[in-house]
Structure 1
């Protein structure tokens, strides 16, 4: 065992102890975060506009700071982009993470001097918790890769603009620089397919130990490695034993990954976003990711089935960490040390534990199917597909679900568009398995099937590379872009049928 590996174990124990101090005092920790945020930002334009000097409690905060999405916050962001300081947070942001919005065009999410360290620290601590729990640290001597956006940044009025993953690349600790791949030059390649080919060439003869990224794009990397060598990834990289991922649920990809790798590998799930690094998997034995309550982010939660209601004119109730329950679908609202206030990130979560507070990402508050009142969410479709695949050789590359409200004949239905790596021998039976799993999970969907309002779902196979071609056609191939698991209209479904 190397000195680096031994040092990693010692550091991992220290970080575990430090984490326990705030994880065992969740309510107190979050109250302190809110007080600190209000105190630091009370003299900003936003703080003055929203009477931060009068806020003494969460009730005061909720009364003065409404829940916002990006469109509502955009006027303040525009002032910062124009070069003004002390608008959302003291001074100016260090960066704006540029993301693609579906309704707002490009979004510019601020990253401040106060918030930036937590993005790096959280990723580090996720790996250290894995080391602490498993005792495995030898991988720190091997090569590590993160499939990410270009680190090249633009600049506007003294503020750097770029993709979050590209910005974070500037903060890789020195002790990891020798292990990190790909090279800076390769990372700067904009065209995704060209970039993946270059990464294959750079890494194919290296001692890769850790590979990370969004599963759908790592899958592309693995497929190209296999095409070039004719070998499974686990044979090419004999010491590859840890996959780190975020952005989407790994489970629908797991069977395909294990086939590409040729064996099982450990995995760590992360919950990062431009708006903040919210959670990471701290245990290999417990379900869910540890919600980071001590990272400059104050969390509020709105029950998803109440999100679009306004019973008394003050909006739906906003729950704090001490008030949430396990198994309930919540929209997550954040206020951060980068200047986001009462901000709806769009993700929904469910708590799997309240001691400590662990979450799973259950979907998107705007990504659901409720054409007939069924309100099907992402977690349900992923779980149903996984259940149908169990005990079968079926492997799935990608999928999405959309309602078919006006079929040419018969009752409406949910259409599942699936790109198979290995298709079922009997597609109708496989579709019925998914449908039965959906009915067990969602009683509203079950009622609609039983009441002959909907007919059982239909699976439509998508040709090999169909999702890749669709993403390319809309300019969202690679990087942090991903296909929504489901939508309440047919934009994606019809787009897939056109390519």
Structure 2
């Protein structure tokens, strides 16, 4: 696990995908629970966790201070610990690829796993996708809208949506709670996009090329509204 800011972890066992964190490379690590990230960014939460305080299988944003002068720098990666002695981590995504509009704490790792399962069980395949919240409106519950450009369309879209929803609940207890326990979220909304919609958006925003990717998760609807407008015109 290497970045321009430092060298943080490496794999020690080919049978174990976890990366052993390096505590002795002039980097001081702190960790922000993902449900505290927004508060940390606006300055109302400053009590970050140290290595001694982290728990396994919990999502954290990585913060580093280094001997080269970085001070409490939010590197932008999200991680979870797979074990604590020694500390091993998995990189699970980016802090910007995160939806917590309703307290569901949906991360890219959750979305990728659930989508892969829905595709495997229905024979569908996906070229591009993105997800954004659908806000509560009066008595209307919140939800997630999935914009998907299929390579192979699922034979029964309702079955695909049901598997996706159940898989998200399986891999994310917070999503499960908001879907069933508190009832604040409806099942996901699936919008099948025309071929070329995502490419057109990338082209219009000068994002063509190997370094640019379609953002998978958004905490607002600006991007998806632009995509939906492009889709209507194709």
Q: Residues of 2 paired with 1:318 and 1:406: CA distance? A: 31
How far off is 1:301 after superposition? 1.4
SS in 2 for 1:358: strand
| Distance in 2 between residues matched to 1:483 and 1:453, nearest whole Å | 28
Looking at structure 1, the residues matched to 136 and 45 of structure 2 have their Cα atoms a distance apart, in angstroms, of: 34
3-state SS of 1:446 partner: helix
Taking structure 1 as reference, are residues 482 and 275 closer, same or farther at Cα in structure 2, changes over 3 Å only? Answer: farther
3-state SS in 2 of match to 1:390 = helix
| 8 A contact 1:401–1:485 mirrored in 2 | yes
Q: Which residue of 1 aligns with 2:211?
A: 480
Structure 1 CA distance, aligned partners of 2:136 and 2:213? 27
1:275 Cα deviation after fit: 3.1
Structure (1/2) with the larger strand percentage:
2
Contact 2:134 2:143 in 1 (8 A): yes
- CA drift at 1:415: 0.6
For residue 466 of structure 1, the aligned residue among 197, 207, 219 is 197
1:358 deviation in Å?
2.3
Match runs of 1:3-14 below 5 Å: none
Taking the aligned partners of 1:354 and 1:340, their CA distance within structure 2 comes to 25
Shift of 1:308: 4.3
Aligned equivalents of 2:196, 2:20: Cα separation in 1: 35
Q: CA RMSD in A?
A: 2.9
Q: Which residue of 1 aligns with 2:133?
A: 403
1:376 to 89, 106, 131: 106
Tell me the distance in 1 between the aligned counterparts of 2:208 and 2:4.
18
Say if 2:184 is the partner of 1:440: no
Other-structure match for 1:419: 149
Residue in structure 2 matched with residue 328 of structure 1 by the alignment = 58
Q: What secondary structure does 1:321 align onto? A: coil
**Number of the residue aligned with 1:492:** 223
Cα deviation per residue 1:50-76 (whole Å; 9 max; x = unaligned)?
xxxxxxxxxxxxxxxxxxxxxxxxxxx
Task: Quote the offset at 1:281 in angstroms.
Answer: 4.2
Distance 1:370 1:346, change over 3 A: same
SS of alignment partner, residue 428 of structure 1: helix
Which of 78, 81, 84 lines up with 1:351 in the alignment? 81
| Secondary structure class of the residue paired with 1:323 | coil
Q: 1:284 aligns with which of 14, 26, 45?
A: 14
Residue by residue, what CA displacement relative to the aligned partner does 1:287-312 show, whole Å, maximum 9, x if unpaired? Answer: 323334444432221222234458xx
Structure 1: tracts of 5 or more residues without a match: 1-270
Contact 1:287 1:352 in 2 (8 A): no
Shift of 1:456: 0.7
The one of 2, 13, 31 equivalent to 1:301 is: 31
TM-score, with structure 2 as normaliser: 0.80
Query: In structure 2, which of residues 144, 153, 161 is the aligned counterpart of residue 431 of structure 1?
Result: 161
Distance 2:209 2:193 in 1: 19
Distance 2:191 2:103 in 1: 23
TM-score scaled to structure 1, two decimals? 0.41
Q: Which structure is larger by alpha-carbon Rg, 1 or 2?
A: 1
Structure 1 or 2: larger helix share? Answer: 1
1:337 CA drift (Å): 4.5
Shift of 1:420: 2.1
Deviation at 1:389, TM superposition (A): 2.7
Question: Alpha carbons of 1:465 and 1:374: their partners in 2 closer, same or farther (altered >3 Å)?
Answer: same
Specify whether residues 276 and 483 from structure 1 end up closer, same or farther in structure 2 by C-alpha distance, changes over 3 A only: farther
Distance 1:410 1:420, change over 3 A: same
CA offset digits 1:146-175 (Å, max 9, x no partner): xxxxxxxxxxxxxxxxxxxxxxxxxxxxxx
The verdict on how the C-alpha distance between 1:354 and 1:453 changes in structure 2, with shifts beyond 3 A counting, is closer
